[in-house]
């Protein structure tokens, strides 16, 4: 019987068209609120959505609205969307919001360049980027996006911090960016002293600024890393980066007396060191340029002042030093009789750029023999003076470093340490600190690299600091009922293209009255670092419409901490550290009463994705980066430089405009479709590793999708007829019934009376009936069915673990590709094999395997999966259903779910994610292939029964050989004097 196709699917797969079709359908369903109620086939009950679900908060780091999404954005948001869709299908109530990192220097600088307001430029970019996010087939909680309330409530948080004493203003030496004309936090200056944004050499200036007392939480921040490491939710790399930045060091603070010759007397120099055991190896003392002694001497020393003026231009690792004349330092143990003479000599004092003013006390004791940095400095400034080695690798000093290399490890003190010679560094450290403490010259101490967070920015586009400065009352908070303090319009500033802070000239806005005394006062014209907003935005999403507070305690308790946070590893220090600080502070307030249960940690799990590198072409002669139109890519595997005809150098490097290797994800999605682009991004590299973008390889993804689409389109009608006709609802019931039949036959045949006349007529009839039913389908086909469904079960298990635990999404794609091949091969098998008596079970199993495959694909390729699902679930005309049912003689109500409105099929995302059904072990193959060699050469492959579990060793080998020789091929072709069994019976070598 021929039945025409009732679903009008396009035989030629057009992925971009599918994107547009299903984006409109999804939007329509959301608008009409059609999710949840579905009608069943006649006689069934209505299905209601589950009311109480487990909650899960999945969040990607929000994008900066720069104008266009790049592939790095597309990668992180694809990962986020895939995992959120998966969890929804698992039955979770998933919150998956998106927002915009709208404030900051780049927006303001762009506004100055274009002569427009930063708010206008930012809103234009948000509109454009939102459309790009929608085009990638993502499912976002758009109703939770709120831009303005976020910074409004940032001022409320500032008040809370100020009231608790964690927000304060102080005069300090700060990092100043001369290009962006604003101060920067320590975290925003790179290792070479350049601004993270403008790239300018950062200057040191003494200014009065606002700080957050993050150092008050430094121990909690450090302890939290240990707890996160135990739970395994954070990458080890990120934990190490944060730990190093917090930088807790334990050691001793030691006083070095200062001797002045003809100069005013100076106080002792205090240094912090982690190696007090090397005190007898000190050969100089180095001071930071900001040290009080240096400031004092620079007033009368012209050369010193000139040297200080050159320091800003020097790299931070410069080993140039200025020897202070007329002042020397003494080793604090110089007056001890037992101290060796070499350690009693006075020590030169240098001003050294490599000494940081904010580490320890801005002074270090120089030990050239046991510190790499000190060794390099000493060799640069005192090349001819010997290096004193006071630590040895062995007690007898037989193993000691060469003079041109410092020994930086722990070991044993040498003879240069007086009474401490021969002691281990651990014992000597304790004894030396005890002696220093008894003399009042030192003590145990700890120091931290982490410094308080400088949040002041002398720029416009940021959250205004809600403080007022009054000559009579001092600094007073803006009353809460007067919040928010909004940014005033300064249109003229942008048209003139001027840098600097326009708020300094917004007199009508800045001049106000003091909330305390009513007198004339001025607003603070600094704005907050944009990292302040991004340090707590994730707390706002669960409660975005709250006008009274940043969020309610109920919303915080119900949704925090974030279950999974996804973003780039480049934010491992700044953003994540600041977010942890704010979260820990909020956990001490009524805003998050249950925060203490999680030690105030904001994110249970962090997933950091690698960067995206683009294919880069350079001229081999000049090294110049080549533009796309300068390279002939007719043969993509062998590109040529158009001008010279030579082959360019091809590498993968970080995408940038200067390298001409950027890729517009919008162009790629328009060409290949969002689903293929998503799958390609995931398939090309593990989530945490660098992705080398190669557009040519996307053809493998499109070929996979096209092959599956054509297979479904060609077979959907036949599958529908078979599914309507068969009794079985699920493959498990089919296999269970078959398994029960086999056990029944086996039990009856084992009956000693089975072949006698005493065997009852009823039992004889039953045996014949069951045997005939087993013969209805070919045993060969049944074995193929088992292999397919076993592959489905294994894929479900592997894919679920990858989605749920390891996040190895590249292996998800490869597993789904492999299952696709298995399904199609199984379908083709039933057609090509003449021995197979096809009564439809091959289509039944193939159909259900395809359903499971599509559900596993849906998080990655949502539009494609929806289209295929619709093809497979389009309602048959009722007359056809009745006819098919009559043909099968099995007319009965069915519980197939269909949508209420039209015949387009229920959304695949209302289906539960596949779970294993317990058939994997039951469907284990009854036989196994065994390769048989004769004198080491493969001669034949035979099928033998599956290996018995109760045999091992020699008994198992003898059993395998017997089974091989019992086969037809074995009897005819095998004779041997010796037999060798290898690979657990997969290969057997007969030696003749």
CATH number for the domain formed by residue range(s) 926-991 = 3.10.20
pLDDT score recorded for residue 773? 45
| Model pLDDT for residues 593-643, shown as the tens digit of each residue | 999 999 999 999 999 998 888 888 888 888 888 888 888 888 878 889 888
The pair of three-digit structure tokens given for residue 301, joined into one six-digit string: 């020393």
pLDDT for residue 264 is more than 70: no
Split at pLDDT 50, 70, 90, the class of 858 is very high
CA dist 604 and 157 (Å) reads 23
> Measured on CA atoms in the order 245, 247, 253, 257, is the torsion positive or negative?
negative
pLDDT score recorded for residue 168? 96
The three-state (H, E, C) secondary structure of 328-379, written as one string: EECCCCCCCCCCCHHHHCCEEEEECCCCCCCCCCCEEEECCCCCHHHHHHHH
Burial of 544 (0-12, 13-18, 19+ CB in 10 A): middle
* 496-500, 566-570, 764-768: least confident range: 764-768
Give the H or E element holding residue 728: none
CATH number for the domain formed by residue range(s) 248-448 = 3.90.740.10
Q: What is the mean pLDDT of the chain?
A: 83
Structural domain boundaries in the chain: 157-214+461-529, 248-448, 613-679, 699-747+771-910, 926-991
* 194-203, 766-775, 911-920, 930-939: least confident range: 766-775
pLDDT score recorded for residue 225? 95
CA atoms within 13 A on the CB side of 327: 24
Is 678 in contact with 82 (CB distance < 8 Å)? yes
**Per CATH, the architecture of 699-747+771-910 is what?**
Orthogonal Bundle (1.10)
CA dist 708 and 860 (Å) reads 15
pLDDT score recorded for residue 699? 92
pLDDT for residue 99 is more than 80: yes
The vertex-965 CA angle with 978 and 969, nearest 5°, equals 115
Looking up tokens 């004309």, which residue turns up? Answer: 181
| Coil vs helix vs strand at 521 | strand
CA dist 403 and 413 (Å) reads 17
pLDDT score recorded for residue 318? 83
CA dist 335 and 343 (Å) reads 10
Split at pLDDT 50, 70, 90, the class of 879 is very low
Looking up tokens 């935005």, which residue turns up? Answer: 537
More confident residue, 358 or 306: 306
Is 885 in contact with 112 (CB distance < 8 Å)? no
Burial of 453 (0-12, 13-18, 19+ CB in 10 A): buried
Nearby residues of 529 by Cβ (< 8 Å), 6 or more positions away: 185, 453, 454, 455, 456, 457, 462
| Model pLDDT for residues 266-310, shown as the tens digit of each residue | 689 999 999 999 999 999 999 998 898 998 899 899 999 999 988
Q: How many helices (H) and strands (E) does the chain have?
A: 30, 35
The three-state (H, E, C) secondary structure of 136-161, written as one string: CCCCCCHHHCCCHHHHHHHHHHHHHH
pLDDT score recorded for residue 888? 44
Looking up tokens 């089974």, which residue turns up? Answer: 963
More confident residue, 339 or 765: 339
pLDDT for residue 381 is more than 70: yes
pLDDT score recorded for residue 570? 81
* 200-214, 273-287, 735-749, 943-957: least confident range: 735-749
pLDDT for residue 952 is more than 70: yes
Backbone angles phi, psi at 803, to 5 degrees: -65, -45
What is the arithmetic mean of pLDDT over 968-985? 77
pLDDT score recorded for residue 565? 97
| Model pLDDT for residues 408-460, shown as the tens digit of each residue | 999 999 999 999 999 999 999 999 999 999 999 999 999 898 989 999 988 89
CA dist 715 and 712 (Å) reads 5
Give the H or E element holding residue 618: strand 612-618
With a pLDDT cut of 70, the percent of the chain lying above it is: 84
| Model pLDDT for residues 22-69, shown as the tens digit of each residue | 999 998 887 765 434 333 233 333 334 444 578 999 999 988 887 778
| Model pLDDT for residues 492-505, shown as the tens digit of each residue | 787 776 667 889 88
Split at pLDDT 50, 70, 90, the class of 138 is very high
What is the arithmetic mean of pLDDT over 403-407? 80
pLDDT score recorded for residue 552? 94
Task: Report the chain's terminal Cα–Cα distance, integer Å.
Answer: 59
Split at pLDDT 50, 70, 90, the class of 885 is very low
Split at pLDDT 50, 70, 90, the class of 955 is confident
pLDDT for residue 918 is more than 80: yes
The pair of three-digit structure tokens given for residue 346, joined into one six-digit string: 């006075």
What is the arithmetic mean of pLDDT over 181-186? 78
């Amino acid at each position: 019987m021929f039945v025409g196709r009732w679903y009008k699917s396009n035989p030629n797969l057009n992925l971009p068209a599918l994107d547009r079709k299903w984006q409109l359908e999804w939007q329509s369903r959301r608008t009409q609120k059609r999710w949840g109620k579905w009608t069943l086939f006649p006689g069934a009950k209505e299905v209601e959505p589950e009311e109480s679900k487990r909650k899960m908060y999945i969040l990607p780091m929000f994008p900066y609205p720069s104008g266009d999404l790049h592939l790095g954005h597309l990668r992180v948001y694809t990962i986020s969307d895939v995992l959120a869709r998966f969890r929804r299908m698992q039955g979770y109530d998933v919150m998956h919001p998106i927002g915009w990192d709208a404030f900051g220097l780049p927006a303001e600088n762009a506004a100055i360049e274009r002569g427009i307001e930063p708010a206008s430029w930012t809103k234009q970019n948000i509109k454009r980027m939102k459309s790009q996010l929608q085009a990638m087939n993502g499912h976002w909680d758009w109703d939770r996006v709120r831009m303005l309330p976020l910074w409004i409530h940032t001022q409320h948080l500032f008040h809370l911090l100020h009231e608790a004493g964690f927000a304060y203003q102080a005069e300090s030496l700060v990092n100043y960016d001369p290009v962006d004309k604003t101060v920067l936090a320590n975290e925003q200056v790179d290792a070479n002293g350049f601004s993270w944004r403008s790239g300018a050499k950062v200057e040191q200036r003494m200014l009065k600024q606002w700080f957050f007392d993050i150092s008050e939480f430094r121990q909690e921040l450090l302890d939290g890393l240990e707890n996160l490491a135990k739970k395994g939710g954070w990458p080890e790399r990120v934990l190490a980066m944060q730990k190093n930045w917090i930088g807790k060091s334990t050691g001793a603070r030691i006083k070095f007396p200062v001797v002045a010759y003809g100069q005013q007397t100076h106080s002792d120099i205090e240094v912090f060191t982690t190696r007090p055991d090397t005190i007898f190896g000190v050969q100089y003392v180095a001071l930071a340029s900001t040290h009080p002694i240096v400031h004092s001497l620079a007033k009368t020393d012209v050369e010193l002042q000139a040297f200080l003026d050159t320091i800003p231009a020097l790299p931070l690792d410069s080993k140039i030093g200025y020897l202070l004349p007329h002042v020397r330092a003494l080793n604090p143990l110089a007056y001890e009789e037992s101290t060796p003479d070499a350690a009693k000599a006075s020590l030169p004092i240098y001003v050294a750029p490599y000494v940081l003013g904010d580490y320890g006390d801005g002074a270090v004791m120089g030990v050239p023999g046991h510190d790499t940095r000190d060794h390099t400095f000493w060799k640069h400034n005192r090349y001819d003076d010997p290096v004193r080695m006071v630590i040895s690798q062995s007690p007898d000093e037989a193993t000691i470093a060469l003079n041109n290399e410092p020994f930086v490890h722990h070991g044993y003190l040498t003879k240069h340490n007086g009474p401490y010679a021969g002691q281990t560094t651990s014992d000597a450290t304790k004894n030396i600190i005890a002696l220093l403490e008894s003399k009042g010259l030192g003590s145990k101490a700890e120091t931290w690299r982490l410094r308080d967070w400088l949040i002041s920015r002398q720029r416009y586009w940021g959250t205004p600091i809600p403080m007022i400065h009054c000559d009579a009352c001092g600094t007073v908070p803006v009353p809460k009922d007067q919040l928010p303090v909004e940014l005033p319009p300064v249109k003229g500033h942008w048209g003139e293209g001027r840098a600097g802070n326009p708020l300094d000239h917004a007199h009508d806005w800045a001049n106000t009255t003091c909330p305390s005394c009513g007198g004339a006062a001025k607003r603070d014209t600094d704005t907050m670092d944009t990292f302040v907003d991004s340090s707590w935005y994730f707390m706002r999403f669960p409660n975005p419409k709250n006008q009274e507070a940043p969020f309610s305690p109920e919303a915080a308790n119900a949704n925090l901490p974030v279950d999974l946070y996804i973003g780039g590893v480049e934010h491992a220090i700044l953003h994540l550290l600041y977010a942890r600080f704010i979260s820990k502070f909020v956990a001490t307030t009524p805003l998050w009463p249950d925060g203490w249960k999680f030690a105030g940690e904001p994110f249970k799990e962090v997933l950091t994705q690698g960067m995206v590198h683009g294919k880069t072409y350079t001229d081999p002669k000049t090294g110049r980066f080549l533009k796309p139109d300068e390279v002939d890519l007719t043969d993509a595997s062998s590109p040529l430089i158009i001008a010279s005809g030579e082959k360019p150098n091809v590498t993968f490097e970080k995408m940038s405009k200067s390298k001409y290797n950027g890729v517009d994800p919008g162009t790629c999605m328009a060409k290949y479709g969002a689903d293929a682009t998503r799958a390609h991004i995931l398939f090309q590299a593990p989530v945490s590793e660098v992705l080398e973008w190669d557009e040519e390889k996307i053809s493998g993804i499109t070929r996979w999708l096209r092959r599956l689409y054509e297979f479904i389109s060609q077979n959907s009608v036949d599958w529908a007829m078979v599914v309507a006709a068969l009794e079985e609802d699920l493959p498990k019931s089919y296999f269970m019934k078959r398994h029960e039949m086999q056990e029944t036959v086996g039990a009856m045949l084992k009956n000693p009376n089975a072949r006698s006349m005493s065997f009852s007529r009823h039992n004889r009839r039953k045996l014949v009936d069951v045997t005939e039913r087993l013969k209805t389908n070919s045993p060969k086909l049944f074995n193929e069915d088992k292999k397919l469904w076993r592959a489905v079960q294994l894929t479900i298990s592997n894919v679920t673990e990858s989605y749920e635990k390891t996040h190895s999404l590249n292996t998800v794609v490869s597993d789904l590709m492999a299952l696709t091949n298995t399904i199609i091969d199984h379908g083709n098998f039933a057609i090509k094999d003449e021995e197979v008596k096809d009564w439809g079970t091959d289509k039944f199993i193939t159909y259900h395997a395809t359903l499971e495959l599509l559900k596993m694909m849906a998080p990655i390729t949502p539009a494609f999966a929806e289209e295929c699902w619709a093809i497979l679930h389009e309602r048959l005309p009722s007359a056809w259903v009745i006819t098919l049912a009559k043909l099968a003689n099995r007319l009965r109500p069915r519980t197939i779910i269909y949508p209420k409105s039209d015949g387009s099929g229920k959304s695949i995302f209302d289906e539960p994610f596949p779970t294993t059904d317990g058939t994997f072990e039951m469907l284990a193959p009854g036989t196994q292939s065994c390769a048989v060699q004769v004198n080491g050469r493969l001669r034949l492959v035979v099928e033998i029964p599956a290996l018995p579990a109760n045999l091992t060793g020699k008994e198992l080998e003898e059993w395998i050989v017997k089974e091989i020789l019992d086969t037809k091929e074995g009897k005819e072709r095998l004779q041997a004097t010796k037999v060798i069994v290898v690979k657990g019976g997969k290969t057997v070598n007969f030696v003749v």
